[in-house]
Amino acid sequence: MPQILFICGLPGSGKSTLGKKLANKLKFRFIDLDIQVSEDTGISPAQWISEYSEDIFRKKEAQVLRNIKSDADLIVSCGGGTPCFEHNLDWMLEQGTCVYLDVPEGMVLNRLQQGEVGDRPLINQVDPLVSLRELIEKRKACYARIPLRIEPHRLSFAELVDWIREKISEAYPR
């Protein structure tokens, strides 16, 4: 049975960057859920939220998530809110291993400000710190349910890979 690792965390916590690097190092397949939503629907997550609503986007995101099939080991970089809606976290925990990237608020804010904040419709461009803090507060209880947490900024990439390998081998003993 293929191993699936779901990487979760706030927007700007490094889920996609880390996921790609881990998948390459571990020889896993990689899916960025936001990109998968765009490919499957022809509309980006930001467009879904701004043109329709976050609620409609979350329903579509859940459909795309549940349609992910793999006959190989897989890492899925989730959207920041993916585990918090549509019972996705329960489903993800049944399908594989979930890890939360616990990155300090200041580091996340810095990354968001270096990128295109406009691509993150849930982060207000006028006051991104207030928006980020509101998002953290809304998602705190959900994120707390993710059983594995790591502070990736405190580890070297080699240490991070070893930690992930250990957690995956515990979840999928061979």
Q: Report whether pLDDT(70) > 80.
A: yes
Q: Where are the domains of the chain?
A: 4-168
Q: How confident is the model at residue 129 (pLDDT cuts 50, 70, 90)?
A: confident
Q: Quick check: helix, strand or coil at residue 77?
A: strand
Report residue 68: phi and psi, to 5°: -70, 120
Average pLDDT in the 86-108 region? 95
Query: In the prediction, which pLDDT does 112 show?
Result: 79
How far is the C-alpha of 164 from the C-alpha of 142, rounded, in Å? Answer: 21
Pairing of strands 97-101, 4-8: parallel
Average pLDDT in the 35-39 region? 96
Question: Average pLDDT over the chain, rounded to whole?
Answer: 90
1 vs 104 pLDDT, higher one: 104
How far is the C-alpha of 174 from the C-alpha of 158, rounded, in Å? Answer: 22
Sign, CA torsion 30/114/99/138: negative
Query: In the prediction, which pLDDT does 60 show?
Result: 96
The CATH number given to 4-168 is: 3.40.50.300
Average pLDDT in the 129-145 region? 93
